[in-house]
A = this chain, B = another copy of it.
Amino acid sequence: MTISLNNLGIVHRTIQRADPAAVALLSKFGVATLHEAMGRVGLMKTYMRPIYKGARMCGTAVTVLLQPGDNWMLHVAAEQIKPGDVVVAACTTDNMDGFFGDLLATSFKARGAHGLIIDGGVRDVDTLEEMDFPVFSRAINAKGTVKGTLGSVNIPIVCAGAQVMPGDVVVADVDGVVIIPAAVAGEVAARAQAREDNEGAKRDVFASGVLGLDYYKMREGLEKAGLKYID
């Protein structure tokens, strides 16, 4: 990943999107499972929340670096969207203005976008819910923005604490937002499937009253660590 002196004012038109088959597989899993399958990296900060109940998405990242109070680059990004993409927008500073609303959502949807992840604010939330256009954001904010300063599209960004490369897979549900690098998408899907198979079995075990203490054979480790039971 290059943070160069030329990082602002650039649009990469050609990006390496993750393999569509892998994306399709990943879309079946929840974020908690995928994060485990990833080896516990790649999560965004917990302040990123769905703007309406039930919002969730899976797609390949078109990245955007915004300037504070300015959504010009979201218009530029719209043109780079291919069906199945998710726009992931960071800002050069903490800013919660309403960068995005129903008109941009209409445009994004027309291009085939699967949703928006934005480390900032959005507005027209009722309409976005009616449109069933999922958004995860840091804030809801009626305040609009100007179009005056260049950022970039499809450069590597840091969004809500996570590194995002153009083409990475983005999965978001009620538990959070996880980024899966394009190169490991297939492997993560396989690991997630293995994990899920395993979890289903465990659920029945625990429902029957078996304790994790016994199932995971934790008692010896706890005793060795010095745990004392007092009656």
Count of A interface residues, CB-CB < 8 Å? 109
A residues 118-172 in Cβ contact with B at 8 Å? 121, 123-126, 139-144, 146-150, 156, 158, 161-163, 165
Beyond A142-B31, A174-B140, A228-B11, whether A106 also contacts B203 by CB under 8 A is: yes
Are B161 and A40 in touch, CB under 8 angstroms? no
List of B residues within 8 angstroms of A158 by Cβ: 158, 161-163
Are B75 and A218 in touch, CB under 8 angstroms? yes
Choose among A8, A30, A38, A139 the residue with the greatest number of B CB atoms under 10 Å from its CB: A30
State the 7 A-B residue pairs at the shortest beta-carbon distance, nearest first.
Answer: A68-B69, A1-B1, A142-B175, A68-B68, A142-B176, A106-B206, A75-B212
Task: Kindly list 11 other residue pairs between chains A and B, CB separation below 8 angstroms, not including A13-B231, A126-B173.
Answer: A3-B42, A31-B142, A32-B123, A35-B144, A40-B143, A46-B121, A68-B97, A69-B149, A72-B218, A107-B206, A163-B163
